[in-house]
Structure 1
């Protein structure tokens, strides 16, 4: 039988000790996504006293490149906590994570509560509830996982690996997000680029997926919440002090200073 509280406490300890991530779902009775999100909820409840209240969500594995990288064929979600929300120009230390990864995303800020009980959300219907968009990094902590043996249930239970977010200034108007190009640079040199359409065809498709998943559990997105819609390109894993920039054409740019050791 699955011990949700015990697994959540174990995850706290594993992260504190920066232990290597190993799949644990099958051995602990996690047999469905509902089980995995149940463990995630318990884990997040243990994180809140040290990391603050929930301020939004991350959506992961929304691009084909990321799904291929992780060997998983569907999006997943996690919770973003207040003390893990940073702004452009922030400095973070590699030493604070089991293994830090950076993802490069379009974030949205909700402008109104989503009403419940209506038809399924679509990219078009949810757009009216978005107050702003921005360029963002997601900081993940995969604790040096072996992606060849990764399973989605263990990943979801571990809050889908969210370790924080870094946001640029939100814009209240924006260009067509499916066509927007995003350029990733490290120390001033371009590393990679993608487009908004790489996220399920449109970042608001990712947002609609989350809204529908929450609705199925009797929950909904609320005004002011931040949602990370998924990485346009594959994860990067800094190993030394570096400066990263992610620029979304017509939206803005976000910067992050990565240091090797904590100050």
Structure 2
């Protein structure tokens, strides 16, 4: 693993990049021997400093769970990051474009947990039993590390590129809908840009929740009741600019809209 002083220094670089909405050079270009465990250690220091500063964690995001996203990034292993309360928006919100770097949108489902979920060896059935309801969600990607040539180590260190989440209004229990076939039709300024179905996420979007419980077990943690889990995109990321109007149609799960100002 990297020296603890280097891990601390990178975490501070990323915190400063978050404050200034800037981008730093790739970690793996400077430290080619950095490992995935190093990247989660960097993310953990950044997370703990935010919590100490008064931000409240509300859940976790899972990323790189679909072929669409893996092909878009060149990274084939899922990852996870944390989500804070002040990054959650309601559908219809205006979102400040300048708060983010390398701004893109992904189409996802989010899950609210009604009971804790602990690894190891969690199954899809375990995850579904722990889920209270599903809700459509858009993820705003926020990358503080240069994109070209980045690896899973760079992405995890940067809180899995999470910036914000826009939640829809329709809540459905897993027994009320076949979650695999929830569609997403993503539009920018009235033009359809991306489409997909939730089965693109590991065959079933809740499979990622089971994966996350097992991954957290490796790091001595577990999922708590009341956490929101953003399950991963089933479309490629869509670039957005200031002034863009974004809409996503999830059919029976309603629509999400937002605008970047």
TM-score by length of 2: 0.91
Q: 1:212 to 1:225 in 2, by over 3 A?
A: same
User: Is 1:77 aligned with 2:80?
Assistant: yes
Q: Which of 236, 251, 256 is the matching residue for 1:234? A: 236
After alignment, is 183-192 or 219-228 more displaced?
183-192
The aligned counterpart of 2:133 is 132
Q: Distance in 2 between matches of 1:47 and 1:30?
A: 27
Q: Which residue of 2 aligns with 1:158?
A: 158
Residues 165-194 of structure 1: per-residue CA shift (max 9 Å, x gap): 111125143411112211112223322210
Q: Which residue does the alignment assign to 1:58?
A: 61
Correspondent of 2:102 among 99, 110, 115: 99
Residue 254 of structure 2 corresponds to: 252
Matched, 1:187 2:192: no
Q: Secondary structure at 1:105's aligned position in 2?
A: strand
Alpha carbons 1:167, 1:254 under 8 Å: kept? yes
Deviation at 1:140, TM superposition (A): 1.2
2:223 to 197, 201, 221: 221
Kept in 2: contact 1:101–1:142 (CA 8 A):
no
**Following the alignment from structure 1 to structure 2, what is the Cα–Cα distance between the partners of residues 51 and 85?**
16
Looking at structure 1, the residues matched to 191 and 54 of structure 2 have their Cα atoms a distance apart, in angstroms, of 33
Q: Quick one: structure 1 residues 51 and 97, their matched pair in 2 at CA, closer, same or farther if it must change by over 3 Å?
A: farther
**Number of aligned residues:** 256
SS of corresponding position for 1:203: coil
Distance in 2 (alpha carbons) for counterparts of 1:50 and 1:99: 25
CA-based RMSD: 1.9
Which one is further off, 165-174 or 128-137? Answer: 165-174
Question: For 1:158 and 1:207, how far apart are their aligned partners in 2?
Answer: 21
Moved over 4 A (4+): none
> Where in structure 1 are there 5+ consecutive unaligned residues?
none
Distance in structure 1 (CA, Å) of the matches to 2:56 and 2:142: 19
CA distance in 1, matches of 2:250, 2:87: 22
Q: 2:20 aligns with which of 17, 21, 25?
A: 17
Residue-by-residue CA offset, 1:58-82 (whole Å, 9 max, x unaligned): 1111111111111111101000011
- C-alpha contact 1:175 1:250 (8 A) present in aligned 2: no
Q: Which residue of 2 aligns with 1:37?
A: 40
Correspondences of 1:191-202 after superposition (within 5 Å): 191-202=193-204
Deviations 1:102-125 (CA, angstroms, capped at 9, x unpaired): 1111111101112x46x6111122
2: CA distance, partners of 1:123 / 1:21: 38
SS in 2 for 1:231: coil
Aligned to 1:15, the other structure's residue is in SS state helix
1:237 to 1:48, Cα distance in 2 relative to 1, 3 A = farther
CA 195–21 in structure 1, closer or farther in 2 if over 3 Å, else same: farther
Where does the alignment leave 5 or more consecutive residues of structure 2 unmatched?
Answer: none
- CA drift of 1:49 comes to 5.1
